[in-house]
Amino acid sequence: MNFRILFTSVLLGLLFAACATTKHSEIVVAEFGNSDIKMGEFENAYAKNVGGIEAAKDDSLGDYEKFLDLYVPYKMKLRDAFVRGYYQDEDLNKELNDYKTKVGVSYIEEKYIVAPGLKNFYNQRSEEVRASHIMIKIDSTDEAAKEEAQSILDSIKNGASFEEMAAKYSDDRFSKNKGGDIYWFTAGQIIPSFEMAAYSTPVGEVYPEVVKTKFGYHIIKVTDREKRRYKIRASHILVKSTKNDSSSAHSRITKIDNDLKNGASFDSLAREYSEDPGSAKNGGDLGFFERRQMVKPFDEVVFKLKVGETSPIVKTRFGYHIIKLTGEKEYPPYEEEVEKLREIYKKSRYQYDYDQYIAKLKKEFNYSVNEDLVKLLTKDSDKITLNDDYKKNDNFTSHKDESIITTKNRSVSLDSLLTFMDKKSEYKGKKINAALLNGGIEKYSDQLLLEEKAATIENTDPEFAKLMDDYRNGIYIFKLQEDEVWNKVKIDSTELKKLYEKTKEDYKAPAQVSFSEIFTYKKEKIDTCYKMLKNGEDFGVLAVKYTKRPGMKEKAGDHGLKNVDDSELSRKADSLSNVGDFSKPFKVMKGWAIVKLNKKLPARIKTYEEALPELSSNYQEMESKRLEKEYNNKLKEFYKPQYFYEELTNAFKPENN
């Protein structure tokens, strides 16, 4: 018996302990029907509404309660949408799928191409690589150039000297006699495919494959790699040199160098002796610059200096230099640099990353092109033009329904492809040769593959799934509003007239004034007009002759009826006492004016007809609010919601549980 009592006590204790330690996110803050709203859901919705968790933590209990009062009706409406079967509505599902495709493609490009591409680009730019290459130009055929490059690469792999092979075979005349050296670079400075190969190769090694660029085929060897010096600041003293005075120039720079070694001021010597007019007046200061912005001999030396150090004499094509490193900027954090990098990335690296991602999608969706059909259609490429004539071609008419592009879930007919191309200016009216057709296939395929990925990404990407949930909920709420409120609002003329009689004091026409004006740019001219008016000249005649306001000469300066508060002119006219009175000349923007009063209309209540547009709008708003209230009350009666406000004291405070 004692054992049973003890066992029961322990069991109850464990049960109460479990209840007392309910997981924070599982605390129920409201319920309706058979549905609960738990703390986790509430906090996520609230934080999203106010701009994040930190902002939400600073809000009061009253703020949380007000939000819950709005959130519960929102959830009841979504439940009602489900009960009504909106999820099976063909029109709503079409709208959802159209949105998923449109937004999904943009989402994929940003999240899966640009975002990781930018991060990788930033990381690569924190380093500098020095590389050499052997380049084989495509002089005859692509295949021949590739085979030659591969043969050279194979020889290097079998022990041949890279430098000797560069001197013997490279078509880059600038680097071939320097062992193929193309100097230091960082990401974004040369062709992406070349950069990516170099960044993936260890120092001292040759990239294992030939790399194709628009210049030809390359064999790449990485000779050095180091942390990038982001930007440095230097000053220099330049003594220009030519073939005729090289000895004299060297003597002068040597004297300056000796003066520096004996303690003379670099700044003073630069101002006195430097022959670079742009920097000499600033003590030789060149400002901040990056690698490769200076000529190579200068660049090689200055990027080896430490801040405060002065170089030995350096010879460049401009003459002799002595360089002093005066400052350096560290590579900024990603958050600071990302927006500046975005434009560079888009121009230099985005297309490469885009193409790599499309290549992955081709594998993922079993992409293929009907090459036999491409060959068949392009065999008479000099005869078929992409206009209405191609539809008469036997190859097209016989195969127009045949698939030319196929993926896991979709198939594109020849007719669909050519119809797509026919709408593009870069293809329309041109001969359907292999290059044109393959270009169209590539463009069509890129969009096709991105759309196919967009159709499935909701299943693998929680962030996108949440985005789709929000949009789905939005169109369901909109549809409910349409069904329960907006479509039920009927404009009843009898009710409108009743409303007008009750509220007509709210519909007032403002005071108005009709006036004419003479406007001139010069004070002397307006003064002349004023004297003539005082002498009895007709205002309209003078306006036709002298006013300079565009479009008013043919109207004899008549502005018609305007609200008194419309402008300075209408207020000035309203200040006149009697019809026919005119003002003294007064300054207005860009000139001078005189106005004459033609008519005054006091403020008044609008007639029913005048008030009708506003009245109808207000009536619709009133009816919408009434119907909205009726609908909400109907949901409350059915679902009988309960609010547990006391639980909200723990909102955004999981440590208290």
Q: What is the CATH number of the domain that holds 549?
A: 3.10.50.40
Beta strands, E only, 39-168: 127-136
- What are the backbone dihedrals phi and psi of residue 299, each rounded to the nearest 5 degrees, phi first? -60, -45
Kindly report the number of other CB atoms within 10 A of residue 244's CB atom.
8
Does 139 fall in a domain?
A: yes
> Which of these three, 329, 357, 378, is where a domain ends?
329
| Token duo for residue 57 | 């933590």
pLDDT in tens, 244-278: 778 899 999 999 999 999 999 999 999 999 999 99
Q: Do residues 37 and 26 make contact, with C-beta atoms less than 8 angstroms apart?
A: no
Q: What is the pLDDT of residues 422-436, one digit of tens each?
A: 999 999 888 888 889
Verify that 156 and 211 share a domain, yes or no: yes
Q: Are residues 214 and 152 in the same domain?
A: yes
Contact 158/256 with Cβ under 8 angstroms? no
Predicted pLDDT at 243: 77
DSSP assignment letter at 139: S
Check residue 141 and give its pLDDT: 84
> Which helix (H) or strand (E) segment is 95 a member of?
helix 90-108
The answer to whether residue 21 scores a pLDDT higher than 80 is no
Contact 222, 198 (CB under 8 A): yes
| pLDDT tens sequence across 372-425 | 999 988 887 667 888 877 888 887 888 999 999 999 999 999 999 999 999 999
Residues 188 and 249 in one domain: no
pLDDT of residue 654: 73
> Looking at the domain assignment, is residue 131 inside a domain?
yes
Please calculate the CA angle 450-452-457 and round it to the nearest 5 degrees. Answer: 90
Q: What is the pLDDT of residues 319-372, one digit of tens each?
A: 999 999 999 999 999 999 999 999 999 999 999 999 999 999 999 999 999 999
Give pLDDT, residue 165: 97
Q: How many residues in the chain?
A: 657
Give me the domain span that covers residue 199. Answer: 127-227
Q: Which two tokens stand for residue 513?
A: 């004034």
Residue 147 is assigned to a structural domain of this protein: yes
Per residue in 175-224, pLDDT (tens digit) is 999 999 999 999 999 999 999 999 999 999 999 999 999 999 999 999 99
Q: Which element (helix H / strand E) includes 415?
A: helix 414-422
Domain boundary among 270, 305, 329: 329
- Residue 16: per-residue pLDDT: 42
* Consecutive H or E run containing 185: strand 181-185
Q: Residues 137, 204: one domain? A: yes
The pTM (predicted TM-score) of the whole model is 0.74
Q: What is the DSSP string of 521-554?
A: SSHHHHHHHHHHHHTT--HHHHHHHH--STTTGG
Closest CA to 286 of 235, 328, 240, 238: 235
221 and 236 share a domain? no
Rg over alpha carbons for the chain, rounded to the nearest Å, is 40
Do 244 and 175 share a structural domain? no
Give the Å distances, CA to CA, from 589 to 220, 568, 594.
69, 10, 13
Query: Same domain for 212 and 252?
Result: no
Cα of 250 vs its chain's centroid, Å: 54
Is 145 a member of any domain? yes
Displacement of CA 404 from its chain's centroid (Å):
34
Residue 228 pLDDT greater than 90, yes or no:
yes
CA distances (Å), origin 511, targets 363, 506, 558, 574: 73, 15, 18, 9
Would you say residue 190 lies in a domain? yes
Total structural domains within the chain: 3
Buried b (16+ CB within 10 A) or exposed e, 565-575: eeeebbebbbe
Q: What is the pLDDT, as a whole number, of residue 15? A: 37
CB 393 within 8 A of CB 378: no
Name the packing angle between helices 142-157 and 162-169 (round to 10°). Answer: 150
Burial 274-305 (b: 16+ CB within 10 A, else e): bebeebbeebbbbeeebbbebeeebbebbbeb
At residue 3 the predicted structure's pLDDT band, cuts being 50, 70 and 90, is: very low
Q: Which residues pair with 239 in a beta bridge?
A: 320
Domain-located, residue 487: no
Does some domain include residue 594?
yes
Which amino acid, 63? Answer: D
Domain finish residue from 176, 210, 227: 227
Q: Mean pLDDT throughout 439-464?
A: 94
Contact by Cβ (8 Å): 219, 152:
yes
- pLDDT above 70 coverage of the chain, percent: 96
Give, rounded to a whole angstrom, the gap between the first and last alpha carbons of the chain: 36
Angle of helix 434-456 versus helix 414-422 axis, rounded to 10: 100
> Is the pLDDT assigned to residue 520 strictly greater than 80?
yes
Give residue 276's region: left, alpha or beta (phi > 0; psi -120 to 50). beta
